[in-house]
Structure 1
Amino acid sequence: MKSPTADAAMVVHGPEAFDAGDVERLIGLLQPRQVLVAGVMARTAAEESGLPVACTDERPSVVLNDLSGRAFLVNRGKTPESGRIFGDIVAGRLGGGRGLVHVECSDRTVYCWNHSDEILAQEIARLTGFALAHGTSTVARKDGVREIRGCIPGEAVFVDGTVIGTATAETVVLSCRDGTLGAVSGLEAKPHGFEKLLRAGLADLNTAWCKSGTVRTATPRQGERTSRAGRVAVVDHCGHTLYREIGEGVCGVLAVGDDTTAVCGHICSHAGIPVFGVVDGDADGIVEPGFAPGSVVVEVVRGRDDDLGQELAATRDLKTPCWDEWVEETLRSLEGRVRVVVDRRGG
């Protein structure tokens, strides 16, 4: 008789489940019919792992809602409590009264949320040796208010990929009234982060991508250098959109913002795509640094990275027969206005 796990899709959230070896072990034990990866940095870890998976930039609730038949979620939270909270949130976002089987690797627990597939949950627990637990989602949406739970005081807090401040409590409460986004409690705000969000056009606070902490703890792997000619992609303060930009024909990335440059450098290191980063020194340390050969990062001497980045995107030709020459010409145009802080030319 066919195992329920072999008939199920496995949806993986976050890079840590790949980096810790959870995904490889679970594929071997459970033999799922397919493995889908949700999220941007998870995709990077998945590609580095070489495992047979399909990647998507969508959040787990969207992926699960689109699936028919049996499915379960795999996650490794930064703590067991944050992992449980994450499962609670995802379960609360599934439509049609659908429950959630959630495999939480941080404390080896299989959660059966909202009266989900008990047979599947029990079989996963049996095959893995994980504990089985039951829960009911407690997520209650309030118009104009958003809680970000499971924070560790001192870590960065994100909304749609932009750092908006530092957590001062386990729960950060945000509000959006009359087109203005603000912190109610639990956050030491970063005004420039809120400004960037509003300038980009804030999405519905109920559905915005919110998280806290680092986006990945592992060091990126180094890939082979890609083409030196082609299009220069521009990623301005929204590193979570990078995979939409680095398609065929891209020879490099112009990244604007400290954290965006860090994320782009990390992802593009494995992809072998060099980055020209423009920063102003307010990085939040959200990911291990790493840059492909040919990369350069400059720090603005006066002013803000936003302004200089927008100027470069508007004035520099974003198609080039040679990335290295494009970098040299760009540096000459910025002489006296920036200082080089990362230099992988010739690397």
Structure 2
Amino acid sequence: MIGILFHGPEVFDTGWGQTIIDAMKKQDDVRCVLAGTMGRTAAFDSGIDGIEFWSKMPSACLADLACEANAIVIVNFGKSEQAGLVFGGMIVERSGVNTPIVHVECSGPFFVEWIEGCDPGIIEALQGLELSRRAPVPIKPSVWEADGNIYRRMTTAGKDDFIFVDGIMVGRAIAEEVTFVSRDGHLVEIQGAAVKAHGIEKLDRFGGIDLRTVKLASSSAIRRTAHVARITETKGTGMAFIDHAGMRVYELAGGVEGAVTVGDDTTAVAGDILSRFGIPVIGIVDGDKDAVLDNGCFAPGSVKLTVRKDDEFGLKVFDGIFNKKKRIAMEFDEVLRKILAIADNDLLEQQTW
């Protein structure tokens, strides 16, 4: 069996995802796995069936696939050829597996055999797609400790890219290399970046991070390639609460009638994803938008409430209406009515779709 690990939305938006699946199916049975929220959305838009969505780091996905696959194919579309190459080498190194691994970098396009031993048919199939072959490159260790701090290096960010830690935007890159520094679970410094302090505060509010394993990401926009959203209607019950966690929308909002989203970018991302399933949102925002998704949509019936401070008002809603639960058995209209009832002078503007 060939394990295929997809990463990022561009592999589907550009058609490479289906192309690689078709080529590998001619060689052996395949198991297709995807890491990443926007990649999942792009896979849905593409209409490709049979892809499993794992809520794990790419390196952890590799480790699990290696338990049963004879070979693994990584399919990525980096912001640049170099960024894609570094990404592939990094996740292979972090996975610690010995299974043969070949990495298809669609931004080239080219492929790299990070761990040799793949069936010759796999290599021939990739060459048949006119992919050039490149040699592996040395990858510098990305995590180290010194003076009681944990350091982690990111070399895949481009200038002005948004930087995300556990799905929360914490700044923008201003250098070719970005280094994160943490102590006791608190992110104390981000070298090579213009830091958004509010993002750091959110991480602390949600319990801090383990810098060794937390998911880091960077992008000029969450969905960089042109695409057409696939729309389907679903019927759910109850309401979900998504507070500055747009990247966890599938985990938090499956099977609901609607969702309350807190934060400008969270509302944009979650609203756009949920619009594909006809699920409306009540977005609590304050205008502090970082434009991580410019071309998003909302399901009919969605409402955006602009308040003075979305964090504070969101907590008020979470405590007073959701009783500090992520999901409640209450209808959309009733939740909206209750939110408006407690808004008082906090509410600055209401917009409906």
Structure 2 length normalisation: TM-score?
0.87
Deviations 1:222-245, CA, capped at 9 Å, x for gaps: 634433x72111111122222111
What is the aligned partner in structure 2 of residue 311 from structure 1?
316
Once the two structures are TM-superposed, the CA of residue 341 in structure 1 deviates from its matched residue by: 5.7
Once the two structures are TM-superposed, the CA of residue 126 in structure 1 deviates from its matched residue by: 2.1
Cα distance change of structure 1 residues 97 and 226 upon mapping to structure 2, 3 Å threshold: closer
- 2:31 equivalent to 1:45: no
Deviations 1:107-166, CA, capped at 9 Å, x for gaps: 111111144637365224322110111214514121200111121111211111011111
What is the aligned partner in structure 1 of residue 30 from structure 2?
33
RMSD: 2.2
- 2:159 equivalent to 1:161: no
Q: Any residues of structure 2 matched to 1:169-184 within 5 Å, and which?
A: 169-184=175-190
Which segment drifts farther, 193-202 or 24-33? Answer: 24-33
Cα distance change of structure 1 residues 86 and 285 upon mapping to structure 2, 3 Å threshold: same
What is the aligned partner in structure 2 of residue 3 from structure 1?
none
Cα distance change of structure 1 residues 209 and 137 upon mapping to structure 2, 3 Å threshold: farther
What is the aligned partner in structure 1 of residue 349 from structure 2?
340
Q: Any residues of structure 2 matched to 1:289-304 within 5 Å, and which?
A: 289-300=296-307, 302=308, 304=309
Which segment drifts farther, 333-342 or 229-238? Answer: 333-342
Residue pair 1:222, 1:269 contacting (<8 A) in 2 also: no
SS at match of 1:268: helix
Cα distance change of structure 1 residues 325 and 58 upon mapping to structure 2, 3 Å threshold: same
Q: Any residues of structure 2 matched to 1:1-347 within 5 Å, and which?
A: 7-31=1-25, 33-52=30-49, 53-67=51-65, 68-69=68-69, 70-98=71-99, 100-115=101-116, 117=118, 119=120, 122-140=123-141, 141-143=143-145, 144-213=150-219, 214-217=221-224, 218=226, 221=229, 223-227=231-235, 230-248=237-255, 250-287=256-293, 288-300=295-307, 302=308, 304-316=309-321, 319=328, 322-340=331-349, 342-344=351-353
Deviations 1:231-269, CA, capped at 9 Å, x for gaps: 111111122222111223x11111111221111112111
Q: Distance in 1 between matches of 2:350 and 2:87?
A: 37
Q: Distance in 2 between matches of 1:21 and 1:331?
A: 44
Which residue identity is paired with 1:19? D
Q: Distance in 1 between matches of 2:99 and 2:301?
A: 48
Q: Distance in 2 between matches of 1:187 and 1:259?
A: 19
Which ranges in structure 2 are unaligned for 5 or more consecutive residues? Answer: none
Residue pair 1:112, 1:118 contacting (<8 A) in 2 also: no
Residue pair 1:261, 1:279 contacting (<8 A) in 2 also: yes
Deviations 1:279-299, CA, capped at 9 Å, x for gaps: 121211112321111111112
Once the two structures are TM-superposed, the CA of residue 193 in structure 1 deviates from its matched residue by: 0.6
Once the two structures are TM-superposed, the CA of residue 104 in structure 1 deviates from its matched residue by: 0.5
Residue pair 1:109, 1:131 contacting (<8 A) in 2 also: yes
What is the percent sequence identity of the aligned residues?
34
SS at match of 1:175: strand
Deviations 1:11-32, CA, capped at 9 Å, x for gaps: 1111111111111222223325
Q: Distance in 2 between matches of 1:124 and 1:310?
A: 53
Which ranges in structure 1 are unaligned for 5 or more consecutive residues? Answer: 1-6
SS at match of 2:95: coil
Residue pair 1:147, 1:173 contacting (<8 A) in 2 also: yes
Cα distance change of structure 1 residues 341 and 72 upon mapping to structure 2, 3 Å threshold: farther
SS at match of 2:6: strand
Residue pair 2:264, 2:288 contacting (<8 A) in 1 also: yes
Once the two structures are TM-superposed, the CA of residue 55 in structure 1 deviates from its matched residue by: 2.0
Residue pair 1:230, 1:322 contacting (<8 A) in 2 also: yes
Once the two structures are TM-superposed, the CA of residue 328 in structure 1 deviates from its matched residue by: 3.8
SS at match of 1:216: coil
Q: Distance in 1 between matches of 2:88 and 2:41?
A: 22
SS at match of 1:84: helix
Deviations 1:271-324, CA, capped at 9 Å, x for gaps: 221111111212111123211111111121x3x211111111121256456423
SS at match of 2:284: strand
Q: Distance in 1 between matches of 2:18 and 2:349?
A: 40
How many residues are paired up? Answer: 334
